[in-house]
Amino acid sequence: MFSRNLHRLRHTLAFRLTLWYAVIFSISFVLVFILFYLFTFAEIERKIDEELITELREYTLVLEKNGMREVAREVNTDSEAEGVSSVFYRILDPSGNVLLSSDLSAWKGLSLNRELFEKTVSSGEHVIETRWIRGLEHKSRILYGRIGPETYVQAGLSFGPNEQFASIFLKLSGIITVGIIFLAAVVGLFMARRALRGVEEVTETAQAIAGGALERRVSLEDRGDEVERLAATFNLMVDRIHALIRETREMNDNIAHDLRSPITRIRGTAEVTLTTGRSLSAYEAMGAGTIEECDKLLAMINTMLYISETESGAVTFEKHEVDMAGLVSEACELFMPVAEEKGIDLTCNAPLPCPVDGNITMLQRMVSNFLDNALKYTPENGKVSVGANLNGHSAILNFEDTGVGIDKENLSHIFKRFYREEKSRTGSGAGLGLALVKAIIKAHEGKVRVHSVRGEGSCFTVTLPLHSNEG
């Protein structure tokens, strides 16, 4: 159980982030300490060297002014003042023989580095080395230098307490580093998990939705961070999918309903004819009725396919310059007999050419659908006016009627496939006209707006981009 949890934890983003932070943090921390240590050590070394060189200059002056005896006194005074275990001085001749020295009881393992000494003898310049002298606890800096004619000094200063300080500092830093890294890892893991909690919630919700809980959403806390935005977008996406599923379901119900009625009628007529009809004319009537119903069904199915093709853009329609003013006028002439028959006053106002890039068959279908609806939903003695005008780079078409109007809450649905207002269900039509119109307008990069008041009438306005030469 524990190992499984550990395994799972190891694969989490939070764990990996923490690990990366911890590694980067440790490396940076260790590097800073190493640099600090090296810098401190170099500084200690510089200070010791400075001290040794000052002594060298002092002995040179003392030898020159007061002679060897005074140098011997100085050597003893200096070593006793500093501590005989921390410092030593030896005065040598050019062959390396000791002429005099300070108390060397603590420096038993001391020897002469011949190579460096000879270098000093030949060049007259001082040299300094770091050496570990046997029997001593700490390393030392040893200087070889010339203090007068045929007279040289070998002076040493132990790193002593400085080195002790440096090693304590190093140990302490090590412990602090480990502690801080551990603390940083724990805090980092906590923070990373906290930051990624929202992601986990999105995952859990997605899993629940995949399991069938379509109503589940990620709870938002108004933090406004990236995870919250992800959650909000996720919720929006699920809402959209949910709405699409609902619409598809409604559409399927509508299709089933619209297909069932004609099929029931065909079946009913056939049954009645078979059981009661004895004459040829009865069978002929049944055949004619069946053909009529089938034509309606076919027209419906073809329109559905036409809408799908137009919406998906799978079929490319040939486009040419089409004058919408002319097209609208022709359609009005075509529908005039229907209007007259219904006692509706149909007027057309298209004074100027309105050329657009489009497919004439599709545009004719669009205008016919609007006109057909206007006449269908306008009672006797009503008015229907159609207009085509120019506005900037657009052609504006209006289809206005004084008909039954549309309820405000239904306006957002009328362009959906198979949608028909409850009050219109009894009349002819399949609820596909406006869906088709919308698909055609979209294929022509146009827009459609509707304004309607129940009982007063409706006005559909279509905006289409003008033919490019004109625009």
379-402 core/surface letters (b: 16 or more CB in 10 A; e: else): eeebbbbbbbbbeeebbbbbbbbb
* 155: Cα separation from own chain's centroid: 68
Q: How far is the CB of 396 from ligand ADP (least distance, A)?
A: 18
Q: Is 365 in the site for ligand ADP (CB under 6 A)?
A: no
The one segment of 16-24, 121-129, 246-254, 370-378 that binds ligand ADP by CB under 6 A:
370-378
CB burial readout 214-242, b (16+ within 10 A) else e: eebbbeeeeeeeebeeebeebbeebeeee
* Total of residues contacting ligand ADP (CB under 6 A): 21
Residue 430 lies near ligand ADP (rule: CB under 6 A): yes
Q: Are residues 461 and 396 in contact, defined by beta-carbon separation less than 8 angstroms?
A: yes
Q: Cα separation of 371 and 330, whole Å?
A: 12
434 binds ligand ADP (CB under 6 A): yes
217 part of the interface to ligand ADP, by CB under 6 A: no
Residue nearer to ligand ADP on the CB measure, 29 or 415: 415
Q: What's the DSSP call for residue 220?
A: P
Which residue, 212 or 427, has its beta carbon nearer to ligand ADP?
A: 427
Strands (DSSP E) found in 334-382: 345-349, 355-358
Q: What does the alpha-carbon distance between residue 388 and residue 393 come to, in Å, rounded to a whole number?
A: 14
Among 48, 56, 63, 406, contact with ligand ADP (rule: CB under 6 A) = 406
- CB-wise, 21 or 460, nearer to ligand ADP? 460
Using CB under 6 A as the binding rule, whether residue 462 contacts ligand ADP is answered as no
Binding residue for ligand ADP, selected from 429, 442, 447, 461, defined by CB under 6 A: 429
If binding is defined by CB under 6 A, does position 258 make contact with ligand ADP?
A: no
Identify which of 263, 283, 299 has the alpha carbon closest to the alpha carbon of residue 429.
299
User: What distances in angstroms separate CA 10 from CA 6, 13, 30, 299, one per listed residue?
Assistant: 6, 8, 25, 62
**CB 313 to ligand ADP: min, Å:** 21
Q: Give the three-state DSSP class for 466.
A: strand
Site string for ligand ADP, 73-112 (x = CB under 6 A): ----------------------------------------
Distance separating alpha carbons of residues 240 and 237, to the nearest angstrom: 5
> By Cβ distance, which residue is nearest to ligand ADP?
429
Minimal distance, residue 4 CB to ligand ADP, in Å = 59
The window from 48-56, 98-106, 341-349, 416-424 that contacts ligand ADP (CB under 6 A) reads 416-424
Residue 353 in the binding site for ligand ADP (CB under 6 A)? no
For 113-196, where are the alpha helices, taking DSSP H only?
114-123, 160-195
Residues forming contacts to ligand ADP in the complex (CB under 6 A) are: 373-374, 377, 401, 403-406, 414, 419-421, 424, 429-435, 458
